[in-house]
Structure 1
Amino acid sequence: MNEIIFFGLNQNPKLIKNKPNKITKPIQFKFENEKENEKQIKQISTGFFSTIFLFKNEKAIEYLKQKDSNQNPEEIQIKENIQKVTVGTENEAILTKEGNVFAKGKYINPKNPNQFFNISSLIEDTNDRIIEDVFSGWNSIYLLTSNQNVYGIGSNDYCQVNFDSETLQKTEKPILMMKNVSKIFSGNSSHVFLLNSNQELFGCGYNSFGQVGLGESRKKDWQIQKLTKIQNISKGKIIDIQCGYTFSIMLIEIEKNQNQNPKRKLYSCGCHLYNGLGKNQNAYEFTEIKSSLFKNDNILDFSVGNAHTLILTSKKKLIGFGNNRYGQLGTGNTNEQSIPIQIKLPKLRFNENILIIIFLVDMKIHFFIILLFLFPILKKI
């Protein structure tokens, strides 16, 4: 079953009813008139204007926020089985088991921004039309193909799809960004990172706060027009990178000897505006986030919002720092946190034999947490 926990600005009156505008402490809730499939949530994704729930039966429903609060949630009508959902600023994308991506948004399909259509079918190289992964960014969408190539579509205002924005401000068809890519790292932000098959990291896009991590010499470059290699990264396996508005956070796994488990560490770069870096100073290269809360614990997962971060540890601790104007840190108040602090959760039914997977997704002022309780066979998800 699922334990659904929410805190932050309540912008979903159709979903979280009879609750205050700002929810500063984590609360549990259930769907109204809960159906059997809604007890088995696989994933959620949320952006400025919508939230999508994906269920284990490969169906998805969409809730529209605030300005569309009178509209009831709707099931997304796609005939193929849905594998992943991803919501950006004003765009959404759906990856199906067949390897197609259906998307909508005003920068994706300006003539009909509210209708999903198959954007993967627009890739000129027909051998590249099977998609393995998809990410939504700041009015842009990134596609990772089965041939390990990455395409971008949508807004290019900050060169987030790897082209000079003065010559190409937007594209309504996928454009090849980079070949031989193993992972895409993005978020509801206008910069992006790509990891190639040689474990080399490249970034491009908005860089006014040094959030691309290119160092002191590039901090004045407000946009990085071409994918550029990121230097001076600590040794280890890059597990994840997530992008906030003024910063980026990286999770690296460092191999230990045979008698020790790998240790995971967090690194951040960018501007400490709203304390999103987990430290009290700017960092124009990726530097470690240190805290006594991590000393005798390991990091399982983390998620980045517009200006705050939440972390889940192996000892089932939830830790956060950053902007808290709307209670999105769940600390019971609206005070910003410049350094990591532990967040108290409601009592949950944890079990030694159950794996906990946490999905933490948010945008500027809205926050969701879903804790999924799944059997150990799913450990590698």
Structure 2
Amino acid sequence: MNEIIFFGQNEYPKLFKNEPYKIKKPIQFKFENDENENENENENENEKQIKQISSSYFATIFLFKNGKAIEYLNEQYSRDSKQNPKKIQIEENIQKVSVGHQNVAILTTEGNVFAKGKDINPKNSKEFINISSLIEDINDRIIEDIACGGNALYLLTSNQNAYGIGLNHSGQLGFDSETLPKTQKPILMMKNVSKIFSGGNSTYIFLLDSNQELFGCGWSNFGQLGLGESRKQETKIQKLTKIQNIPKGKIINIKCGSIHSIMLIEDENQNQNPKRKLYSCGNWEVNGLGKDEDEDTYEFTEIKSSLFENDDYILDFSCGQYHTLILTSNSKLIGFGYNAHGELGTEDIKNQLIPIQIELPKLRFNEDISNYHISCGYDNSFIYYSPRPFSNLEEDLIKLFQRKEFCDISFKTKNGEIIEAHKLILKYRLNQNQIEKLQEIISNKSIKESNQLFEMIYSNNSKINPKLYSEIKEIINSNEKI
């Protein structure tokens, strides 16, 4: 049994029966998946919980912690929607899903990517094909991350190379659109990439390299790539271009709507209670950019609002086609942008240029708010509860420790004492059995002084409680022994 808070368009696909076309205020639904519930009666309830929701025009997919997923196809787009909901038939366990405007992609725990849709496989758009196996360089066939754009799919390999497949009509693959209008094989876009950012409704992409330099390409008619006023007349950026004038700090995440982009920056100078700020660029009239200004913005500029208090920490945010939602550590749900279908959860269905607080139903769980997640669909919104289990953290740590550059990270305190990061992590996050199992892997590794592991584990992706983050930082700074 899963509980979902939902609002917005409820027709394509029809997710909640006996509910209206427009759900204008947040309502809590009990989501039951009979296929998932009955598949393995011995599975604990945690494994049946929702892990991720991805939604766009093409479909809405629910991924569960047991590695299974179901899809609801858009009735306007596919005749197969009569089978809604339909179990996704992939033999391997699924770790991530991504839905684009006309495509769906699945990333498995083995690093394979399966995708379907007319821009990926026009000859048989209904069947999943193994995309990673189409990469010419066999050393690049293990995939770490995926992102569906509006008409393209982007892959990040374990070797930190970014590939693209699908349409290139706006240069979203980083090549001239006349020379290469589309491709049904993944093409190498850029090397030395640490993160990829795109959205299911967008025809552009951002790539972040290992030096925290940001590059982008694709459709930019409203400034959604943040390239600046000097390039405002260029509607197609057909070559990966460095984004200048990025705000100072560490780029945590970027979410892409159809014609607006939101960036989350963390202040690297604050060791305790690091401050996070949001920046936006793109179209103002439909989307709203979180600012009381009636013009498009061609550079990432800060979203300022009294709703973001000094002690408020941005936990999660998401962009739909034309709207944005933000979740803070003070349990605030904040939104702005288009609202014709109720996607902002206000009954008046008026568009909102500046951030407003959205009233939520009383949350059933007494867990920390950081266990909640936001996912904006094409013109609707989801909030769901998905605590990060210890086993997933353990898997992440094992994966990191297996990479030589991240082995046994340690911190040197003010008095010269060495505190090993993994001991802090074990103390706070793992039970005794997991400690012993992980310690076996760690015990023979060499010590290397670096903050990299700490920052990777306690990144936005880990949904770490900000209070815990601060507590561990404080221990390091105060020289307290473990």
Q: TM bucket by the smaller chain? A: over 0.9
Q: Does 1:288 align with 2:302?
A: yes
Q: CA RMSD in A?
A: 1.9
Whole-Å separation in 2 of the counterparts to 1:212 and 1:307:
15
Counterpart in 2 of 1:227?
A: 240
Distance 1:15 1:246, change over 3 A: closer
Distance 1:367 1:122, change over 3 A: same
Residue 342 of structure 2 contacts residue 380 of structure 2 at CA under 8 Å; is this kept in 1? Answer: no
The one-character-per-residue Cα deviations of 1:230-272 (angstroms, maximum 9, x if unpaired) are: 11111111011111122111000013444x3100000011120
Equivalent of residue 239 in structure 1, options 245, 249, 252: 252
Which amino acid counterpart does residue 249 of structure 1 have in structure 2?
Answer: I
Which amino acid counterpart does residue 268 of structure 1 have in structure 2?
Answer: S
Counterpart in 2 of 1:348?
A: 363
Equivalent of residue 369 in structure 1, options 360, 383, 400: 383
Which amino acid counterpart does residue 204 of structure 1 have in structure 2?
Answer: C
Residue 148 of structure 1 contacts residue 179 of structure 1 at CA under 8 Å; is this kept in 2? Answer: yes
Counterpart in 1 of 2:108?
A: 96
Per the alignment, in what secondary structure is the counterpart of residue 208 of structure 1? coil
Counterpart in 2 of 1:109?
A: 121
Whole-Å separation in 1 of the counterparts to 2:83 and 2:154:
29
Residue 23 of structure 1 contacts residue 327 of structure 1 at CA under 8 Å; is this kept in 2? Answer: yes
Q: Does 1:248 align with 2:261?
A: yes
Counterpart in 2 of 1:323?
A: 338
Counterpart in 2 of 1:27?
A: 27
Distance 1:376 1:318, change over 3 A: farther
The one-character-per-residue Cα deviations of 1:112-141 (angstroms, maximum 9, x if unpaired) are: 001001011011111111101111001100
Whole-Å separation in 2 of the counterparts to 1:245 and 1:284:
15
Q: Does 1:193 align with 2:202?
A: no
The one-character-per-residue Cα deviations of 1:154-196 (angstroms, maximum 9, x if unpaired) are: 0111010111001111000000000000000110200100000
Q: Does 1:129 align with 2:138?
A: no
How far has the Cα of 1:3 moved from its partner? 2.6
Distance 1:26 1:98, change over 3 A: same
- Most deviating of 7-16 and 73-82: 7-16
Residue 15 of structure 1 contacts residue 32 of structure 1 at CA under 8 Å; is this kept in 2? Answer: no
Per the alignment, in what secondary structure is the counterpart of residue 386 of structure 2? strand
Per the alignment, in what secondary structure is the counterpart of residue 133 of structure 2? helix
Residue 123 of structure 1 contacts residue 175 of structure 1 at CA under 8 Å; is this kept in 2? Answer: yes
Whole-Å separation in 2 of the counterparts to 1:125 and 1:32:
42
Which amino acid counterpart does residue 332 of structure 1 have in structure 2?
Answer: E
TM-score (norm 1): 0.95
Per the alignment, in what secondary structure is the counterpart of residue 30 of structure 1? strand
Which amino acid counterpart does residue 122 of structure 1 have in structure 2?
Answer: L
Q: Does 1:77 align with 2:81?
A: no
The one-character-per-residue Cα deviations of 1:47-78 (angstroms, maximum 9, x if unpaired) are: 11211111111011111123245333111111
Counterpart in 2 of 1:337?
A: 352
How far has the Cα of 1:33 moved from its partner? 6.1
Counterpart in 1 of 2:74?
A: 65
- Greater strand proportion: 1
Larger RCO, structures 1/2 (Cα 8 Å, 6+ apart): 1
Distance 1:180 1:29, change over 3 A: same
Which amino acid counterpart does residue 16 of structure 2 have in structure 1?
Answer: I
Whole-Å separation in 1 of the counterparts to 2:386 and 2:91:
26
Distance 1:32 1:14, change over 3 A: farther
Counterpart in 1 of 2:4?
A: 4
Per the alignment, in what secondary structure is the counterpart of residue 160 of structure 2? coil
Residue 353 of structure 1 contacts residue 375 of structure 1 at CA under 8 Å; is this kept in 2? Answer: no
Residue 60 of structure 1 contacts residue 82 of structure 1 at CA under 8 Å; is this kept in 2? Answer: yes
Whole-Å separation in 1 of the counterparts to 2:157 and 2:111:
9
How far has the Cα of 1:332 moved from its partner? 1.8
Distance 1:257 1:294, change over 3 A: same
Per the alignment, in what secondary structure is the counterpart of residue 286 of structure 2? helix
Percent identity over the alignment is 68
Whole-Å separation in 2 of the counterparts to 1:148 and 1:22:
42
Whole-Å separation in 2 of the counterparts to 1:295 and 1:337:
20
Whole-Å separation in 1 of the counterparts to 2:276 and 2:195:
18
Counterpart in 1 of 2:428?
A: none
Which amino acid counterpart does residue 265 of structure 2 have in structure 1?
Answer: I
Whole-Å separation in 1 of the counterparts to 2:218 and 2:172:
4
Residue 329 of structure 1 contacts residue 343 of structure 1 at CA under 8 Å; is this kept in 2? Answer: yes
Whole-Å separation in 1 of the counterparts to 2:156 and 2:32:
36
- Greater helix proportion: 2
- Listed as ranges, the gaps of 5+ residues in structure 1 are none
Counterpart in 2 of 1:139?
A: 151
Counterpart in 2 of 1:50?
A: 59
How far has the Cα of 1:12 moved from its partner? 5.2
Whole-Å separation in 2 of the counterparts to 1:271 and 1:3:
34
Per the alignment, in what secondary structure is the counterpart of residue 188 of structure 2? strand
Whole-Å separation in 1 of the counterparts to 2:318 and 2:147:
15
**Bigger Cα Rg:** 2
- Most deviating of 367-376 and 210-219: 367-376
Whole-Å separation in 2 of the counterparts to 1:141 and 1:16:
29
Counterpart in 1 of 2:167?
A: 155
TM-score (norm 2): 0.75
Whole-Å separation in 2 of the counterparts to 1:265 and 1:360:
19
Per the alignment, in what secondary structure is the counterpart of residue 82 of structure 2? coil
- Most deviating of 227-236 and 10-19: 10-19
Which amino acid counterpart does residue 294 of structure 1 have in structure 2?
Answer: F
Residue 57 of structure 2 contacts residue 102 of structure 2 at CA under 8 Å; is this kept in 1? Answer: yes
Aligned length: 379
